[in-house]
């Protein structure tokens, strides 16, 4: 019988103890992991796309020394893995798609930069994230409701509406803002918010049309619904598909299509009920408004988006300027090359100007790029296409929806090419390069 010597016992114990010690050295710091996960949840709730979310979390993980990090984001979940291959720990967060909150995105990037530069510990960063996420809205209920009406009225001018259509759309936008406030904090109401709002706006447009005289009910309805149309979601989905984030892009595209259907159903129902209650409204060709009002509409829409998207007041001038540049670039391009290439030109101008903003202000470009492209997104085109399909005008509807897809791709191409020409110099990209 072979017996172990004391030295062999020591070697065996050493071998047994070395492996756990080595595993502990390879274990990711749980505090750093917790900070990255909370940051991901907060960025997702503030409206970050899958590409930007995964890039941001990867940049932070590199600076915090979390090896072999991997992230996978969809509109309803985030999966994150840390640690050596074979011993990775995977975390899954169930999240809900949130509204774009530009002020929160900028504040979260400031916290991220402070943590990766060692100015703040990850534990304090988690506290700061919680404070940012639970902060009250920067603008009151009255101002937010007025912003909805301002955006609706301004957008109606871009659709070719006259004075009556602008007035009706502004009133309907105020109604949508009030309904949005009532639905806030009520998940069950939020699930049916879009079709209910579309029904009320459609019926309201018919009712106000009978009072104010001959109007274009379609333009007034479209202006009242402009804030609800998922044109931005459609553009983000196309961008995610273009950057090979296929799962997130497909899911987001499906969600945008379902939102379009819900709004179209609400409008169709509102037209039937409103027509039965108020009768037929005399259609009229909208009298064109003076050209200088287009500039007023751009400024009003930009200021309205500052409030609706909860951007910080110090970014208002940048948002208005870049939004104006995008509209002017889009119109000049459309007059020269057609609507699709015009959208490409407007998006390219917005992307380049947003990168310049990021370089000069040391803040994320998304703060100004999102409001800048909102007046270019093809949500209104998609709405008209679905309306045509509901009216059994199949050829017109299919052509319009195809035009919406081409416009969305042109917009995405403009943004992607702008990112190649002038890469963003934001907080986290700088941290990644260093």
Which is nearest to 399 in space by CA: 381, 416, 415? 381
One domain for residues 171 and 276: yes
Quick one: 227 and 266 in the same domain?
yes
SS3 94: strand
Residue 31 predicted with pLDDT over 90: yes
Lowest-pLDDT range of 4-13, 152-161, 280-289, 388-397: 4-13
**Shared domain check, 145 and 253:** yes
Q: Are 143 and 77 members of one domain?
A: no
Q: Which string of DSSP letters, residue by residue, matches 15-83?
A: HHHHHHHHHHHHSPPHHHHHHHHHHHHHHHHTT--HHHHHHHHHHHHHHTT-TT-EEEEETTEEEEEES
Please check whether residue 300 lies inside any domain of the structure.
no
29 and 75: one domain? yes
Total domains in the chain come to 3
Name the residue among 224, 271, 232, 223 with its Cα closest to residue 252.
Answer: 232
Q: Where is the domain boundary, 230, 258, 291?
A: 291
Question: What's the CA gap between 362 and 427, in Å, rounded?
Answer: 7
Q: How confident is the model at residue 392, as a pLDDT?
A: 63
Quote the pLDDT of residue 388: 67
Tokens of 342: 């015009």
- pLDDT > 90: percent of the chain: 39
Strand partners, 74: 77
On whether the CB atoms of residues 125 and 108 are closer than 8 A, the answer is no
> Quick one: 234 and 193 in the same domain?
yes
Task: Tell me whether residue 93 is in a domain.
Answer: yes
Q: Do residues 162 and 170 touch, judged by C-beta distance below 8 A?
A: no
**What pLDDT does 387 receive?**
66
Query: Cα 307 vs. chain centroid, distance in angstroms?
Result: 15
DSSP 284-351: -PPPPPPTHHHHHHHHHHHHHHHHHTT--GGGHHHHHHHHHHHHHHHHHHHHHH-HHHHHHHHHHHHH
The CATH number of whichever domain residue 70 belongs to comes to 3.30.1300
Based on the domain organization, do 266 and 330 belong to the same domain?
no
Domain assignment of residue 69, given as a range:
24-133
**Helices and strands, number each (H, E), in the chain:** 19, 3
The reply to whether 91 and 234 lie within a common domain is: no
CB-CB contact of 357 with 363 (8 Å) = yes
Answer whether residue 5 is part of any domain: no
Domain match, 219 and 286 both: yes
Mean pLDDT (the chain) is 83
Whether residue 39 is contained in a domain is answered as: yes
Within-domain flag for 14 = no
Mark whether 126 and 246 lie in a shared domain.
no
Q: Which of 209-213, 239-243, 278-282, 298-302 is predicted least confidently?
A: 278-282
Query: Residues 309-336: pLDDT tens digits?
Result: 999 999 999 999 999 898 888 888 777 7
Supply the pLDDT for residue 383: 61
Strands 89-94 and 77-82: antiparallel
pTM: 0.84
78 beta partners: 73, 93
Using one digit for the tens of pLDDT, what is the confidence trace for 89-109? 899 999 988 889 999 999 999
* Within-domain flag for 7: no
pLDDT for position 321:
93
Instruction: Give me the phi and psi of 410, to 5 degrees please.
Output: -65, -40
For residues 167 and 189, the model is more confident at: 167
| Bridge pairing between strands 77-82 and 70-74 | antiparallel
Residue 195 has pLDDT above 80, yes or no: yes
CA dist list (Å): 344 to 240, 373, 413: 17, 11, 7
**Same domain assignment for residues 124 and 145:** no
Place of tokens 């020269």: 336
| Helix (H) or strand (E) segment spanning residue 147 | helix 141-158
Q: From the centroid of its chain, how far is CA 429?
A: 20
Q: Which helix (H) or strand (E) holds 161?
A: none
Which pLDDT score is estimated for 341? 79
Last residue of a domain, one of 291, 320, 351: 291
Angle between helices 292-308 and 316-337 (to 10 degrees): 130
> How far apart are alpha carbons 371 and 341 in whole angstroms?
20
Q: Determine the pLDDT at residue 197.
A: 93
Instruction: State the pLDDT confidence band at 422, using cuts at 50, 70 and 90.
Output: confident
Within a domain: 2: no
Helix (H, G, I), strand (E, B), or coil: what is residue 90? strand
Of 133, 154, 185, the last residue of a domain is 133
User: pLDDT-based confidence at 28, cuts 50/70/90?
Assistant: confident
Whether residues 404 and 281 share a domain: the answer is no
The answer to whether residue 101 is domain-embedded is yes
């Amino acid at each position: 019988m072979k017996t172990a010597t004391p030295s062999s016992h020591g070697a065996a114990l050493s071998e047994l103890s070395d492996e756990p010690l080595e595993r502990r050295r390879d274990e990711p710091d749980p505090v750093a992991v917790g900070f990255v996960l909370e940051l991901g949840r907060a960025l997702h709730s503030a409206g970050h796309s899958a590409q930007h979310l995964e890039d941001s979390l990867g940049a932070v993980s590199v600076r915090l020394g979390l090896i072999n990090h991997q992230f996978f984001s969809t509109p309803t979940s985030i999966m994150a893995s840390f640690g050596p291959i074979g011993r990775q720990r995977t975390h899954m967060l169930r999240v809900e798609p949130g509204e774009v909150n530009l002020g929160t995105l900028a504040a979260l990037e400031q916290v991220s930069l402070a943590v990766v530069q060692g100015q703040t510990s990850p534990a304090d960063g988690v506290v700061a994230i919680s404070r940012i996420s639970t902060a009250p809205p920067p603008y009151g209920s009255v101002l937010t409701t007025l912003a909805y009406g301002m955006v609706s009225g301004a957008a109606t001018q871009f659709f070719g509406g006259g004075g009556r259509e602008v007035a009706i759309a502004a009133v309907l936008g105020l109604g949508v803002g009030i309904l949005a406030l009532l639905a806030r904090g009520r998940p069950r109401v939020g699930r049916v918010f879009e079709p209910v709002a579309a029904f009320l706006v459609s019926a309201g447009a018919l009712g106000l049309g009978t009072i104010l005289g001959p109007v274009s009910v379609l333009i007034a309805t479209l202006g009242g619904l402009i804030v609800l149309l998922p044109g931005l979601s459609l553009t983000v989905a196309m961008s995610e598909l273009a950057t090979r984030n296929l799962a997130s892009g497909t899911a987001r595209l499906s969600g945008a299509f379902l939102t379009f259907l819900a709004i179209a159903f609400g409008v169709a129902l509102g037209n039937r009920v409103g027509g039965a209650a108020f009768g037929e409204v005399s259609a009229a060709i909208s009298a064109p408004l003076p050209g200088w009002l287009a500039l007023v509409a751009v400024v009003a829409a930009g200021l309205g988006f500052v409030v609706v998207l909860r951007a910080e007041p110090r970014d208002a001038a940048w948002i208005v300027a870049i939004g104006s540049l995008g509209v002017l670039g889009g119109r000049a391009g459309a007059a020269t090359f057609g609507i699709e290439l015009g959208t490409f030109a407007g998006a390219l101008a917005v992307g380049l100007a947003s990168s310049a903003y990021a370089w000069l202000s040391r803040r994320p470009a998304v703060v100004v790029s999102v409001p800048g492209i909102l007046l270019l997104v093809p949500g209104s085109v998609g709405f008209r296409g679905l309306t045509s399909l509901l009216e059994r005008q199949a050829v017109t509807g299919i052509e319009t929806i195809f035009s919406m897809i081409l416009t969305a791709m042109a917009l995405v191409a403009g943004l992607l090419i702008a990112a190649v020409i002038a890469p963003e110099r934001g907080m986290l990209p700088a941290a990644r390069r260093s």
